[in-house]
Structure 1
């Protein structure tokens, strides 16, 4: 499912014996989950700068909706810098409207297409007219996520704002500095292609790192293990979710 507001939707439903790996992410997401006792909750997952490794939980339904760059701040009503590396109940941001939505989703009894449709409808209600600031955040995100990211000074000149203003917009609208955004985007590209690459040196070259040593240092910093260990399944100790 994709739309003007939703970039991706994933079904993360699982069992207690599953292993959950949450990799760094530039995006803000909404997650709706239910438990075996029938209770449901709706939370906001802010941009994530470090990987986390969890032992699974019994979650009959766990749907994650990743918001498009530039849409999270106006939809949620807070600077995204306040949500980085945090999980926040949507009710803390939307109040009673979130509580009512949570109840509606729980009553759908695990019908995933209907849950996603209701989530999208709830987001659409909170959209407002076009805002140039949000468009600039989206443009900056696209440029910084490229395999050869555009220099911030060049990007600012291209979109007609000062470099400082663009930094401030990105911090408010995406929660990250340009450097952090580009690092996470590059890491996710390497993760997506790691299993298909013939070797780490080739992977580093293909995904925009200076060399294999550069990739290994950034990988270890954000994932907690070097790339060879990660792709071989040698992960850090699991935390309780």
Structure 2
């Protein structure tokens, strides 16, 4: 593997444009993105691992709208769709711990799934699905501010947020080890795992692995491999390469030069 990865000039579809998060939504959402897919497209595109659960308000070219919940992804998947019509979406990334209060299920139940928002058991989920499906794209955030209940800020929510921050890669520090985070927060590792299963959907260890991977994907064009390995807390470059291959299905150099695994047809909904 070389020290200077070749990154494709154009990102694979779909592409996402970040939007500001209004202050009224910050207790519930960490980010909002406008996503557009202009099909058909010939090349495969990757859904990279992601620890977030997202609410997706989608509109197809024919005007049909639906509201979905996309759970965390623990491994990359590769897709293609020769017949995809143009689709625009607003993606809202939930805060850790928000899934249960809004949807009535633990986050672990949504891992690897895409489900209609209205199928989830909480009354809030059904109300959001009903209201958001009829709102124009530019009015989604304003309508959400009217619909969302007051956000809780109990000890479990604060504990989860602190653990997520400690296990995340930051420009100024490497992520902490799970055992160190548990000790710092005065909980057992088992309690921490249970907290993550309920509020994030993946274990603390897997959360840290995915977060490190996403840091690598973001900064691969601007930093040498060895520097990326050190910045993300890997033992060495070989350790980083092995973890990348496990999560992405191919080594870093293959991924960044477009030598991807075989793509499968894109599906709208995937149930367990």
Which band: TM-score by shorter chain?
Answer: 0.7 to 0.9
In structure 1, the residue corresponding to 2:216 is in which secondary structure? helix
Change in Cα spacing, 1:117 to 1:52, as seen in structure 2 (3 Å) is farther
Change in Cα spacing, 1:120 to 1:36, as seen in structure 2 (3 Å) is same
In structure 2, the residue corresponding to 1:11 is in which secondary structure? strand
Residues 22 and 52, structure 1, Cα contact 8 Å, conserved in 2: yes
In structure 2, the residue corresponding to 1:9 is in which secondary structure? strand
Residue 189 of structure 2 corresponds to residue 163 of structure 1: yes
Residue 252 of structure 2 corresponds to residue 227 of structure 1: yes
Aligned residue number for residue 138 of structure 1: 161
Alignment of 1:92-241 (within 5 A): 92-94=119-121, 98=125, 101-108=128-135, 111-122=136-147, 124-125=148-149, 127-146=150-169, 148-197=174-223, 199-241=224-266
Aligned residue number for residue 98 of structure 2: 71
Q: CA RMSD in A?
A: 2.3
Q: Mind listing any 5+ residue stretches in structure 1 that lack a counterpart?
A: none
Residue 47 of structure 2 corresponds to residue 34 of structure 1: no
Residues 67 and 133, structure 2, Cα contact 8 Å, conserved in 1: no
Residues 73 and 173, structure 1, Cα contact 8 Å, conserved in 2: yes
TM-score under structure 1 length normalisation: 0.87
Distance 1:156 1:97 in 2: 32
Aligned residue number for residue 84 of structure 1: 111
- Give the number of aligned pairs: 236
Runs of 4+ in 1 over 6 A off after TM superposition: none
How far residue 97 of structure 1 moved from its aligned partner, in angstroms, is 5.7
Q: Mind listing any 5+ residue stretches in structure 2 that lack a counterpart?
A: 1-19, 267-272
Change in Cα spacing, 1:140 to 1:90, as seen in structure 2 (3 Å) is same
How far residue 94 of structure 1 moved from its aligned partner, in angstroms, is 4.6
Residues 145 and 186, structure 1, Cα contact 8 Å, conserved in 2: yes
Change in Cα spacing, 1:194 to 1:60, as seen in structure 2 (3 Å) is same
Tell me which protein shows more helix as a share of its residues.
1
In structure 2, the residue corresponding to 1:12 is in which secondary structure? strand
Change in Cα spacing, 1:235 to 1:133, as seen in structure 2 (3 Å) is same
Residue 77 of structure 2 corresponds to residue 52 of structure 1: yes
Residues 49 and 184, structure 1, Cα contact 8 Å, conserved in 2: yes
Residues 40 and 102, structure 1, Cα contact 8 Å, conserved in 2: no
Distance 2:198 2:126 in 1: 26
